[in-house]
Structure 1
């Protein structure tokens, strides 16, 4: 019973998802640089085919992970976004102002750093959005590892910033990473959308019909040229927060789906996409404009964007510092925002198909994310040394009471 209690405690903690990501990444790096490397690469490029009458989907296993399973990840992101917009942290515009502006600056500054280093290279310039992303699970996991002395207001600030960052990433994917449009499939996608809308208006208790229509929508969106993961976000917004009986299908789905996403889908994505081949790697490879632009964007761009905006807004009186936080805490959070990892790797797969370029992308993402995580952890530990754990617990109890 003691072991089971400890396991339940571990899997319910914020740090657990980040730990699984780290383990999956380390495994990918070890395997990719061992004698199993060729088998690893061959496994990822094994083709799987599904036929629907005259239509068929034939993609490598890696593409099924990136286009299929990651649609489930974005579905969960969509569920969280809908809840936060209607009932949660994004409901009150005043609470969103500072993390919202910080999120915008935290996307713009890394992109500027990347573009400044790749301006003369048309082959790599399209990867400007790679360092703009933040990995929620990884960033919150590192924050949880710092300990109980961190003010709970920082977790809320980081979570809000990361959620808004994800919203920005979704918009970027929709606008800038869409292939040649097949308009006929876009029109067909209106059929499942209409069906899901009817279900939402009826406040239907059963969500299975909506999920089935979401699967049809995913197929039509994939065939249309728009990235299929966006179908996951759209489907999530048609899941009712409250059904006709007063129950919450959205909360039930979010609660049931989270473990599969955090402990299977996202680690599997990391395992499939983080395998950097380090053979013959030198320091000069890290100075390549593509890798350096990504790493520099995540480390320098995020810190300048997030910390700079918060400092400016607090000093001008536009916003107030999060409760119990000091400038060391804010700088540490700005560093954690530079953990791009999952989202950065994902946008990297949309940006480049060339294996050599993708190896540079992985190198830049892993380097930038690792530096951001380590520096953020150290800074937050130092900034929280004199903190009072009881204050964080009181804040959490207050937040739970307000939520109830």
Structure 2
């Protein structure tokens, strides 16, 4: 790519060519030509040129010019060198913050949005330039390929004395939106840009990725914006998500004029943007809750009506339950809080299986009174007593083998008497049922 020649005019600055995997140039808008001026502006410019043009050159004695002192980096910590290249206008802290905010708020293009899921590396190389071997600077760029290949290419093309890779950065991992990370780092270090004449190509190329800062400062800035981009701050439309847009609009944007923050004071700028790029989890939760409440507020009357309806329905259920409990008759021996189970009439087989459970607890005299001796030596319950036993206060229970019959109300003599009477009453149908049961006669 052909670089633009340098011009040393007071009104226009030369274009800076930024070298990377895809070099770009930053063009400076040229001055307007005379045809673009209005008639009044053209007349004013012609009159001013006539007044300022001397009629003849007057020779002046040649005086010895004192050399201007070089603005070295040692005058202020982290001050970039201005010995070579075209001087740039430094930005105030507020202007640097505005530049970073503009990059954050700029939507992603369709091309960038298509590669948003791709990961890239933001490298930091420590360089000793050939133009000043006593100087150590850093080169901050981006690549999707191998960093070692990029390092070798820079060293061979730019003819640097030394190019070292970053080996002590634990967070040096590929990240999404790596192109945004590069632009944010360059914007934050704008005042620390190191301008020099590179030996690559025809020697007239000016780079925009070299900065006169130490490696630790460069790594801290790179780590911060890498963490920011790992949070996926851009949505599917290429714009900041609502949370990050709200956070960017409500940040502390202005630096007071009376503050002591200088152009090269990086620590205060670091604190401001560190607070922005690393929100707490509670801040995200509060934002989501407030956003939901704001959306619901427009339907506040409808929501209030629905909530009142649920509240009234709940009260009606409580009142109905209370009235039902108070009107229900109390059953002795059963707590009111415990629901009573409906009594189901047991079948014949269930009665047979459960009657033997109480026989073992019966007194022997009572067992002899209510049981009828059989040929097998046991006690047999006649089938005629089944229907009557179900009407007794406590039903009698018969064991599985029909060997014994007993009344549950052991102390109720009247029940025993009625049982004995019911056991002696038989009919033809019940006798047939007993004959069909082979276990009845055993």
TM superposition score category, shorter chain reference:
under 0.3
Q: Which has the higher helix share?
A: 1
Q: Which has the higher strand share?
A: 2
TM-score (norm 1): 0.19
Whose RCO is larger (CA < 8 A, sep 6+)? Answer: 1
Question: Who wins on radius of gyration, i.e. which is larger?
Answer: 2
